[in-house]
Chains A and B, each alone.
Chain A
Amino acid sequence: MEIDSFVASLLRFGRGAGGDSVVAWEGEVAYGLSYDRTVLVRAITDVVRVGEVVFRATDYEGSEVKMEGDRVTFYPGSGVKVRVQRPAFSWKGLHGLYERLWSEEGPGVSLSRSDLKLLDESLPHVELVWDGSQIKLLQRDIYTGKVVEILKGRSGEARAKMAIRTGDFWALMGMGLLWDIRAADGYFCASTVGVRAILGGCVYDDLGDLGVV
């Protein structure tokens, strides 16, 4: 994936608030952490980068970039330099987070963009329920009380429900046509060709604080 596309795609996660989204790139692997720390995306880049660089996605000024200490300098062309501060993340740190959370285990489902055509983008969440015989995508309209249910036949083990933000679902589909999605403990692992993503799940309880997986 081109790093330009990767940065642009990252900004669609976390309800599109891009201010503090972080990109860490080294070798042929780029990590992106969403602004609200709910999504980690890992992509294989089309260019192999020598040495680590970490920057905020909204600071991005092109793939010609150097990092020295806590300063990142972009060279967008015509002799222009744009110098910004490096965020307090490292490639190794995000790689460690990925290694800790990524899982190939657990019940999963394959979903494509066409499966999502019936979803209402204006509703905040999509609930995913595996019940052994089918996958159910369910949207509750919190504005009118209606419920949208999409059923898809499959086999798999029973699983408690967990939701994903609708906007994150669409952002994910923007990065690939077909995704394998598996539920882990409080989050989702999703993969397509060249891209993997870990997405914080949304759970149904009484609490009001942010859960940390």
Chain B
Amino acid sequence: MGIWLAYVLVLICIFIVSIEYLYLYALSSRTEARISEYNGTCVRIGEMIDTIVNAPTESSLRQALVFLKRYVGVDRTRMDILSGLLLKRLITENEEGNQNGLRALSAACDMVNPSAFYSSLLKTGDLYDKAYACRKISGFSRRQEISVIREFSHSKNRDLSYNAAMALSELGDESGLIDAIRDCQHNYEYSHRIIIELIQKYTGDMETLAKKVLCGISDDYIKTAVIKAVAKYRFQSLADIFTGLLTGTNVNLRAAALTALGALGDPAFQNDMITACTDPDWIIRLTAVKALKNIRTPESMQALSDAAQDAEWWVRNTAAKILVGMDTDLVYVERVLRNEDRRAADSILFALYQVCDMSR
């Protein structure tokens, strides 16, 4: 009985191995063919775009466009390649100021109409296709689809909701984006860096968006991310909101507010930062030191040289690096070096190594 079972097992194994061999052969041949076809298609479509951009006459342009449309058809791979290359080329031609090229590329977009293709994918594709289509549609700035994309931004599938939110941001849809950010309050799985990216890609009025989000959302995590995102735009009108947050208890939110105030570079806020340089929490001290980078006054330089003697390694070294960068006369730097605090002197020395070529 056992032997018969063993024979059966051998036969089953031989059968599976044979199937595996056949499948492997088919799979590897298909993969090779697909890659070679993909590379060939990329080259071919690239050449077609070149022909369109450099078409000498209207009729040759029209002929090239018809040929491109016929070649791409409704093939998904070809459309993906075309849309990618078209967007890239549009950016290049725009940077070079080639008006004829831009006009020809716009004609290609109208003729092949990739944005309509991706709009239909929004309706017919699976979740991942829809997510991909959101990205493509935002690339082509097709605002007609905003209402559909808004719905997707609330999807439980994180790939879809993420791509939809990013598309809304790039399409400049304020209320859609605010809703998507509000959704993040219930989904802390995203790093705050994704929320920052989401805001920084916004193509609408950033100042209004920031005000609405900061006033309309109570969640500290989201607020912190929003403040970090808008800090670099230096909106003076938000200064009151930032200063109001300095007295709160949430360390991350206070740090973000300090960063945003620092980015404004306004000496009117330097006292807030100098006070924060002596805060018991080292993260606040570190942020205050970084914030002082944009305010070059004797008071801020003094605060930085004091911070170069901080007990915390990060605060000390960051202060030293900033001080070396700001103190061109080396007055404060020399003062710290003469000081008896060896740790502070070491930090200054390391900062100097990072800006001076000591190999000579």
Chains A and B form a bound pair: no
A residues with a Cβ closer than 8 A to B are: none
